[in-house]
Structure 1
Amino acid sequence: MKSLQHFLLPFVAISILLFPIALNATSLAAVDNTGVQVQPMQQNGMTYLSGGIGEDEARAIEQAQGYNLHMTFAIGPENKYVPDVEVTVQNASGQTLLTLSDAGPLVYVQLPPGKYNVVATRNGEVRRDTAEVGSGAARKLVFHWNSDE
């Protein structure tokens, strides 16, 4: 019996160490693009993606490259994604670069390096945040409302 324990112990230890890697691999699953309608859009020279309704569409946006501002819109204690948000992105001098209606629940924007003010409005409730983007990792903003009303 002891020899069996000594034999199985390394396999159990390796399995435990690899478990987090296996969990992350599920998020890298292939996206079924046949039903995904997310296409890059442009406004005032800014390229953006807006959508994320459904698992495949959300994954397609999350895997998109080249967008340095990632915004997520959610409500309630369960952080349920919501798609009906008005978004305004302004540069540091207050010039509006992007205005979206019925945006989300995910919005990814490709911006020149700089500091930006973002205003997200849902059902009249306003949320504000600032983002400084550069050539490094994308800046992530999460806008949350307490309820669906």
Structure 2
Amino acid sequence: MVPNSRPVHSTACATFLAATLAFGYAGGAAAQQADASGTVGGSTADNTSAGNTNGTGMPQVQQQGDVSFVSGGVGLDESRALLGAQSDWPLSLRFTQRSGEYVADVRVQITDSHGASVLDTTSRGPYMLVRVRPGRYNVHVSHAGVDKTSTVTVSSNGSARASFVW
């Protein structure tokens, strides 16, 4: 330590560090921002994050044909809302890196057992919930030039889950 010097402490720096530790990652497509109160993106006070326009922490539900879906999970309240809603949705998808860091901006294409396109979109965060009819589906995802595919069966009384790791 240099004589007559003192460590620099910053509330913003501490808040960012806390947010980083809470989410297990720093930066990337799903970069976190925290305000002075410690509220991290996607909060009910900041309802502009990742499509959260309804003030509940849950991102806006979108529709494509007969399929409803919601994606996000960048902010802590958004992640909690999506995880809490998983059991109400027939299909739940999660996107992470091997290190455990969350991944956003994942291209998602879902086809039915006949090869017909059911959903073609980009996930806004590490979680995507999809309302599809019971059946067998192929989920094709792409991130950073790497494609992955998983086959899922959505039953009439439960929900299917698939995790993709890059």
- Work out whether the TM-score is over 0.5: yes
Partner secondary structure for residue 114 of structure 2: coil
Which residue in the other structure is 2:46 paired with? 35
**Contact 2:72 2:123 (8 Å CA) reproduced:** no
**Contact 2:61 2:68 (8 Å CA) reproduced:** yes
Give distance in 1, aligned partners of 2:154 and 2:123.
Answer: 24
Q: How does the TM-score come out when normalised to structure 2?
A: 0.64
1:114 and 2:125 correspond: no
- Point out the structure with max Rg over C-alpha: 1
1:73 and 2:95 correspond: yes
Which residue in the other structure is 1:135 paired with? 156
Deviates more, 1:100-109 or 1:47-56: 100-109
Moved segments of 4+, more than 4 Å: none
How far did residue 44 of structure 1 move? 1.2
Q: After superposition, give the CA deviation of every residue in 1:101-136 in whole Å (9 maximum; x if it has no partner).
A: 244310000110000000010011001001100222
Q: After superposition, give the CA deviation of every residue in 1:27-62 in whole Å (9 maximum; x if it has no partner).
A: xxxxx6343500111001100011010211111111
More helix by share: 1
Amino acid in the other structure paired with 2:74: I
Q: Which runs of 5 or more residues in structure 2 are unaligned?
A: 1-42, 53-58
Partner secondary structure for residue 81 of structure 1: coil
Partner secondary structure for residue 57 of structure 1: helix
More strand by share: 1
RMSD, aligned α-carbons: 1.7
Give distance in 2, aligned partners of 1:48 and 1:132.
Answer: 17
Give distance in 1, aligned partners of 2:118 and 2:61.
Answer: 16
Which residue in the other structure is 1:19 paired with? none
Which residue in the other structure is 1:18 paired with? none
**Contact 1:87 1:103 (8 Å CA) reproduced:** no
Amino acid in the other structure paired with 1:140: R
Matches within 5 A, 1:52-91: 52-64=73-85, 66-77=88-99, 79-91=100-112
**CA shift in 2, pair 1:134/1:34, >3 Å:** farther
**Contact 1:86 1:103 (8 Å CA) reproduced:** no
**Contact 2:71 2:123 (8 Å CA) reproduced:** no
**What is the total number of aligned residue pairs between the two structures?**
114
